[in-house]
Amino acid sequence: MTYSVLLRDPGTGELGVAVQSHFFAVGSQVPWVEAGVGAVATQAVVNLEYGRGGLAAMRQGLSAAEALAKIRADDPLTDLRQVAMLDAQGGIAVHTGPGCIGAVGSRQGENWCVQGNLLDGDAVLDAMADAAQSGGNLADRLLAVLEAGHDAGGDVRGAQAAALIVAGQVDLRVDDSPHPVAELRRLLARSRAAARMMAAIATPGAVLGEPGDSADAALKALAEAREGLGPANAEPDLWRGVVLARDGRAEAARTAFAEAIAVHPPIARLLPRLAEAGILGGHPEKE
């Protein structure tokens, strides 16, 4: 009832997993990943112990194949499981029980594997396998694999939920949507924009600490965040105003604050609080 992908970036060692299914909140059950340890997809008749126990076993030094064999040995319903494991060294192990419903199967190569059951047809796995071997950022590759599977027919029952995780970097879930993979793409773009905003806020001297010469770099990141987060999000303009005010550009700061307030009027109540917290030297509107 699901198709999934496990990937490892051989250059960075990053690990990722992504999944799509016509099953509510599939991201709460199928995907498991831990940086420096491994990744697991447990599907068909899901047994969460393959996720918890699989990562625990690989954390203790077992390979993906050894971890999978260990848990299968204690599973009376192994014939109903479909499980894939990828360890931190790139080792892969996949089990598809004979009780899984077709179209069903898996494909694998160096540092990647794809698998699915209740698929529209074998072409889904072939398309996913081709996409898994593309280059680029790990999150983009994971998403490309899901999109390829969806375009080739995906889950024969349709689409409902999806998830995408890159250990320590990205953790996105769509629990209930008629277009979960497309929604993942939107969320991935928003996630990156939010990360740029947080990087700007964390730039030494831009928002916190003693003002320095970092304003222009922070303003550039905030402009990128503003584009990615969209016009309904007032925060990039709020922090742009803070950076400008701390950099002595009072008029430009007032304009930025006004733009933020136009989007979300309660932000006006935040400005004096920022001043009281020492983030602003004084209320910009009183300068």
What is the rounded distance in angstroms from the CA atom of residue 137 to the CA atom of residue 164?
13
- Do residues 217 and 270 both lie within one domain? yes
- Do residues 130 and 166 both lie within one domain? yes
Q: Tell me the CA end-to-end span of the chain in Å, nearest whole number.
A: 62
What is the rounded distance in angstroms from the CA atom of residue 247 to the CA atom of residue 216?
9
- Do residues 114 and 253 both lie within one domain? no
What is the rounded distance in angstroms from the CA atom of residue 13 to the CA atom of residue 36?
7
pLDDT value of position 21: 96
Q: Is residue 198 part of a domain?
A: no
Task: Calculate the alpha carbon distances from 54 to 17, 36, 81, 98, 160 in Å.
Answer: 14, 14, 14, 21, 26
- Do residues 34 and 142 both lie within one domain? yes
Q: Is residue 19 part of a domain?
A: yes
Task: Calculate the alpha carbon distances from 139 to 168, 188, 245 in Å.
Answer: 12, 8, 36
State the CATH number of the domain containing residue 270. 1.25.40
Q: Is residue 185 part of a domain?
A: no
- Do residues 261 and 139 both lie within one domain? no
Domain that residue 254 falls in: 203-286
- Do residues 166 and 247 both lie within one domain? no
Q: Is residue 75 part of a domain?
A: yes
Percent of the chain with pLDDT over 70: 97
- The dihedral region occupied by 97, where left means phi > 0, alpha psi between -120 and 50, and beta the remainder, is beta
pLDDT value of position 209: 80
Q: Is residue 137 part of a domain?
A: yes
pLDDT, mean of residues 1-21: 95
Q: Is residue 72 part of a domain?
A: yes
- Do residues 214 and 167 both lie within one domain? no
- Do residues 81 and 169 both lie within one domain? yes
pLDDT, mean of residues 261-278: 95
pLDDT greater than 70 at residue 121: yes
Q: How many domains does the chain have?
A: 2
pLDDT value of position 281: 64
For residue 87, list its beta bridge partners.
38
- Do residues 24 and 63 both lie within one domain? yes
State the CATH number of the domain containing residue 103. 3.60.20.10
- Do residues 172 and 207 both lie within one domain? no
- Do residues 278 and 146 both lie within one domain? no
pLDDT, mean of residues 228-241: 95
Q: Is residue 24 part of a domain?
A: yes
| Per-residue model confidence as pLDDT tens digits over 169-209 | 999 999 999 999 999 999 999 999 999 999 999 988 888 88
| Per-residue model confidence as pLDDT tens digits over 78-115 | 999 999 999 999 999 999 999 999 999 999 999 999 99
| Mean pLDDT across the chain | 94
What is the rounded distance in angstroms from the CA atom of residue 236 to the CA atom of residue 244?
12
Q: What is this structure's pTM?
A: 0.89
- Do residues 216 and 115 both lie within one domain? no
pLDDT greater than 50 at residue 37: yes
pLDDT greater than 50 at residue 283: no
Q: Is residue 192 part of a domain?
A: no
pLDDT value of position 287: 42
pLDDT value of position 210: 79
